[in-house]
Structure 1
Amino acid sequence: MYSIGPDLNASPQSPGIKLTAVEVERAFERPIRKCQQGMLVVNVAAGCSFGCLFCPLSHRLARTNEVQLRVNLPAILEAEIQARKKAGKLPRMVFLNTTTDLFQPIGALLALTHEVIRILLSEGIDVAFQSRGLVPEGFGELFSSFPGKVHAQVSLFAMRRDLARLYEPGAPDPLERLESIRRLAKWGVDVRGRIEPLIPFISDTAGHMDELLRHFRSAGVQRVTAAYLILRPQILDRLQEILPAAHFHLIKGSFRGQAWQKEGIYSQVRLLPQSTRTQGFERLRAAARRADMAVSICACHDPISGEFCWDQEPAANDARASGQLDLFSRK
């Protein structure tokens, strides 16, 4: 377990990661993902040391080895909250964070995250986040003081350690993440599981799904959200560079015949065939019935059959788009 600390030079989990302090002009950003509609987004940092092969941020980090901390964010956030309160435009829920994983073992990032969440909760704003990291005990008092106001999705890819180490090499062990789920639930957090990404023939078999759901259930999770792998050119290159040939050819072959689609202003994406996703989700729903759990499909990754990931009802907001590369979106 790691602790919260204010030192910007606290050592991250992965060696060679450079921490950089940057300042921002504004705190609130307009959501990009379909599942974030009705919320505003606050990005505490940019860059992630977990190195997950399916994440676009891993490609950026491989070039820069940098995690940027937005050190003036608390002051900017407090000022924007007061302005929005006067204008009657205070958001009901804020999503943290689309450009990093909040709970990397980096002391300065954890301290900044704690302060930003404290500010939001103290103003009556719900907080939502997704993470593959471990939420430290230092967040327990804060979260326990606002039961039902914090909404978390903790992601697992595989329980098999060889698969987890291959595809998400810097992320905590899956069993440790299950313990983090138990802590969050103890603190009154609305916590659910997230199965992401499902990869044909590698992580979308019935046996694999049964195993994941069984472990989620053992941690007290009653509901999970799932999403299939989405390819970007830089992700495809990274998969080819790092994966064993058998894994890479299975993945590449699963996308055969699927055209690249332009998304946003940054890159192209390629979706799996709809039939592949539909059949996989049918297996997942069957596994969820066996486990007596509820399952939803992330609409951001599956616009046809997907659903809203959170309980927050979508509502209009007026924040401008940020232009940030999104850790979670299809952009």
Structure 2
Amino acid sequence: MVREINAKSILITSKNPSSWFGVKYTMNIYRGCQHGCIYCDSRSECYQIQNFDDIDVKINAVELLKKELVRKRIKGTIGTGAMSDPYIPIEKKYKLTQKSLQVIADNHYPVHITTKSNIILRDIDILQEINNIYAQIAITITTCDDSLSKKIEPRAPVSSDRFKALGILSSLGIHAGITLMPILPFIEDNEENIIKIIKMAKDYGVKFIYPAFGMTLRDRQREYYYSKLDELFPNLRSKYEKRFKNYYSCSINNYTKLKNIFFENCDKYNISTKMPSYESKLSNIQLSFLNKKL
């Protein structure tokens, strides 16, 4: 179900920008998601979304953004995608993300976008404009196997399409990388998968891979995930229940070994394992300027 709503505000000021890649203001244009990822933490009760597959479209988002940016005294990175993907299929119709990015570009703000969708390529011209300040794109990829990505992220573009999008973004000088999260225990936590993702990242010019070596499980999200395990991966649910019980943080198998393999291979292919913020970019520019003066 899709419902159009009028939001009261669109930007939320972060109390601790350093905790999420330097994002000072978060923006969610859509509430809910159409990608149907079986593991999504946003299904949890704490977010107070009864059915995450239903979509609320904040039809006044662009107007709100214009008004709120004018009132901001301090510029900072605007982040979108941490809660709901800004490039779900319905964005093709509403174009609210596209219009919001143009507002951000017009007001000279940096941006950080997290997505699973290659629809982002539609907005390359605007992203290049924003990149005169700073644009950082993080595309989530947790497997190189398209058949597996269709199972666990059934209505998102397959992994190969996301890699192609990363290649195009990187070739245009946009700081684009991978959020390798979550890594699903007993499904994706193997050496072959980790190394293949890193090798493909190198081939497509990816600048960084930011990992989380496991997943989270709680309340309603856990129930949904387990129901999908029963449907897609018979016999896995019992392994989860035995190992993780009611834990929130669920680490991958062979945690230390796979973590070491990840960092060793990223170092081998010269891929960063951090996402530098706009503020860190500014610091580097200022330091370079001072060094030249000296």
The alpha-carbon deviation at position 313 of structure 1 amounts to 4.1
1:232 aligns with 2:198: no
For residue 203 of structure 1, give the secondary structure of its aligned residue in structure 2. Answer: coil
Q: What do you get for the CA RMSD once the two structures are aligned?
A: 2.7
One-letter identity of the residue aligned with 2:222: L
Alignment match of 1:205 (pick from 180, 190, 193): 190
Q: Which residue of 1 aligns with 2:35?
A: 50
**Could you say if the C-alpha distance between residues 248 and 288 of structure 1 is closer, same or farther in structure 2, counting changes exceeding 3 Å?**
farther
One-letter identity of the residue aligned with 1:220: G
More helix by share: 2
Shifted more, 152-161 versus 230-239: the winner is: 230-239
1:245 aligns with 2:234: yes
Q: Which residue of 2 aligns with 1:152?
A: 137
The alpha-carbon deviation at position 173 of structure 1 amounts to 1.0
Q: Which residue of 2 aligns with 1:19?
A: 2
CA–CA distance in structure 1, aligned partners of residues 239 and 178 of structure 2? 26
Alignment match of 2:80 (pick from 77, 96, 100): 96
**Could you say if the C-alpha distance between residues 46 and 239 of structure 1 is closer, same or farther in structure 2, counting changes exceeding 3 Å?**
same
CA–CA distance in structure 1, aligned partners of residues 235 and 243 of structure 2? 12
Length, aligned pairs only? 270
**Could you say if the C-alpha distance between residues 250 and 219 of structure 1 is closer, same or farther in structure 2, counting changes exceeding 3 Å?**
farther
The alpha-carbon deviation at position 138 of structure 1 amounts to 2.9
For residue 295 of structure 1, give the secondary structure of its aligned residue in structure 2. Answer: coil
Q: Give TM-score, length-normalised by structure 2.
A: 0.81
State the Cα deviation string for residues 186-205 of structure 1 (Å, max 9, x = none). Answer: 34321011211112332122
**Could you say if the C-alpha distance between residues 108 and 30 of structure 1 is closer, same or farther in structure 2, counting changes exceeding 3 Å?**
same
One-letter identity of the residue aligned with 2:56: Q
Alignment match of 2:107 (pick from 89, 104, 123): 123
For residue 53 of structure 1, give the secondary structure of its aligned residue in structure 2. Answer: coil
The 5 Å alignment of 1:1-331 reads: 18-31=1-14, 34-36=19-21, 39-57=24-42, 63=51, 65-84=53-72, 89-107=73-91, 111-147=95-131, 149-227=134-212, 228-243=214-229, 244-256=233-245, 260=247, 270-272=248-250, 277-296=255-274, 309-313=275-279
For residue 229 of structure 1, give the secondary structure of its aligned residue in structure 2. Answer: strand
CA–CA distance in structure 1, aligned partners of residues 4 and 55 of structure 2? 9
The alpha-carbon deviation at position 108 of structure 1 amounts to 5.2
Same amino acid, percent of matched pairs: 14
CA–CA distance in structure 1, aligned partners of residues 15 and 147 of structure 2? 33
**Could you say if the C-alpha distance between residues 252 and 291 of structure 1 is closer, same or farther in structure 2, counting changes exceeding 3 Å?**
farther
CA–CA distance in structure 1, aligned partners of residues 82 and 254 of structure 2? 27
CA–CA distance in structure 2, aligned partners of residues 38 and 64 of structure 1? 24
One-letter identity of the residue aligned with 1:78: K
